[in-house]
Amino acid sequence: MAFPKDFLWGGAVAANQCEGAYNEDGKGIDIQDIMPRGIKGAPTAEPTADNMKLVGIDFYHRYKEDVKLFAEMGFKVFRTSIAWSRIYPHGDDAEPNEKGLQFYDDLFDECHKYGIEPLVTISHYETPLHLAKEYNGWISHDLIGFYERYVRTIFARYKDKVKYWLTFNEINSVLHAPLMSGGIMTPLAELSKSDLYQACHHELVASALATKIGHEIDPQAQIGCMVLSMPTYPLTPKPDDVIAAMQANNLNDFFGDMHVRGVYPGYMKRYFRENGITIKTTPEELALLKEHTVDFVSFSYYVSICETADKSKTKGEGNLIGGVKNPYLQESEWGWQIDPQGLRFVLNRFYNRWQKPLFIVENGLGAKDELVDDGKGGKTVNDDYRIAYLNDHLVQVGEAIEDGVPVMGYTTWGCIDLVSASTAQLAKRYGFIYVDRHDDGSGTLARYRKKSFWWYKDVIASNGESL
Ligand code: BG6
């Protein structure tokens, strides 16, 4: 497999899923602190002890040990997010919280100590709760100003430590998980499509603004968007199914189109027209979108789905968004269908559509792991299933590179076990490193290298030759 020499191998996490310390050192409460069941249950009024994210895997206190383990695997890049409410506890505060800023200074310094480049998500499903309660999240135009203040602060502070930035995690997911993704308190069933697309517009404008400000503060900064990719295949070759799949792909690709081309596409104007969707935009916002497009496109990839015009077909589970099941694919224990070739397909499709460098910033298998004796006096997990999953996907990344697609790097999701986003469980493990913590809150928080740890170390050391 011919991976580029400077390929950025690494792993990814998000602050809210690993840091814990939910109310320490001036951090404000964010929406994750009141979502003990992820998107599978109702939010609570206050943080409750059964919420696994309040402690997470205690990365806030143990990051040095964890970064050292990432370095041992040979990581070139580590993707994490900044928890907005560590910097601006309520989101609309006038001044940032110095202790929160200091934490990320220390974390990025620790990464650089080992030659690991941080890749930072500015907003990863962790809107300050106050912005959700007082403003109904991104439905409000005011959020653009609060986000601007936040990004100015972090770009200025970390300009010498962070080269790679992502503006919003899976920006398209706001359509499906409005609270988690957009801090919107109104339940999805009660939200109008106009409000939802207004929230999208505000996020897209904020993303363009971040790209502008980031480049002004540091002309060398590489700023990307991040989308939840979910290649959608027609369930059958029937032309009606092909068109249904095309339309589903368009609705998903709209977000990348806006970030790369900077204009509302014709298919979207038609969709707005035919669905009675009206949104407010200003000439200044439209000019900003057009002018400040991204340097690269990053995306998560877990599943492909099928689409059909046959409305009697039901949808299965998926990465936040489910789809009609593909009869040719196996699925994970959580019902997510596994399709390594879909990754090659989506890399080709995105590059053909946008001609921008691509970065796979999430891919991985959530599975139940068993900690066993390693025969040398320690403990490990024999996760051959995870190795097979990642190996198969990376082989397809290699194929896409052979196809001529410029791929900047690959960060596996949850390089260390963490709390799941959709179900808020720790039982759904993604890591190369096992964390001794369980959904009943028990566990020592000790870290153990899984078999996949050694496998990934070899992949990185050989720059993909061992695949
Ligand atoms: C993506 C998110 O949707 O998928 C991550 O960006 C999330 O935050 C990941 O953890 C895997 O999903 P889950 O629900 O298994 O944690």
Which residues have CB under 8 Å from 202's CB, separation 6+? 138, 139, 140, 141, 143, 144
Mean pLDDT of 184-202: 97
Report d(CA 389, CA 369) in Å as an integer.
14
Cα-to-centroid distance, 222 and ligand 1 (Å):
24
Contact criterion met (CB below 8 Å) for 166 and 225: yes
The structure tokens listed for 69 are 């383990």
Domain assignment present for 74? yes
User: For the domain that residue 312 is a member of, what is the CATH number?
Assistant: 3.20.20.80
Domain assignment present for 131? yes
Number of domains in the chain: 1
Helix (H, G, I), strand (E, B) or coil at 95: coil
Domain assignment present for 169? yes
Domain assignment present for 466? no
Helix (H) or strand (E) holding 251: helix 239-261
Tens of pLDDT, residues 15-40: 999 999 999 999 999 999 999 999 99
Cα atoms found within 13 Å of the Cα of residue 463, Cβ hemisphere only: 7
pLDDT, residue 388, reads: 98
**Is the Cβ atom of 362 under 6 angstroms away from ligand 1?**
yes
Which one, of 108, 92, 116, 88, lies nearest residue 100 by Cα? 88
Report d(CA 133, CA 123) in Å as an integer.
17
Domain assignment present for 171? yes
**Is the Cβ atom of 51 under 6 angstroms away from ligand 1?**
no
CA-proximal residue: ligand 1, atom 7 (nearest): 421
How far from 319 is each of 88, 172, 366, CA to CA, in Å? 29, 12, 11
Domain assignment present for 467? no
Q: How many CB atoms lie within 10 A of CB 41?
A: 11
pLDDT, residue 318, reads: 66
Number of residues that make up the chain: 467
Tens of pLDDT, residues 278-293: 999 999 999 999 999 9
Report which ligand 1 atom has the smallest distance to the Cα of 334: 15
Tens of pLDDT, residues 409-434: 999 999 999 999 999 999 999 999 99
Q: Are strands 358-362 and 296-301 parallel, antiparallel or unpaired?
A: parallel
**Is the Cβ atom of 110 under 6 angstroms away from ligand 1?**
no
Please give the residue range of the domain that contains residue 47: 8-461
Lowest mean pLDDT, pick from 56-70, 129-143, 302-316, 388-402: 302-316
Q: Known catalytic residue: 117? A: no
**Is the Cβ atom of 204 under 6 angstroms away from ligand 1?**
no
Domain assignment present for 81? yes
Helices (H), 120-187: 129-135, 142-158, 178-182
Domain assignment present for 1? no
Tens of pLDDT, residues 266-280: 999 999 999 999 999
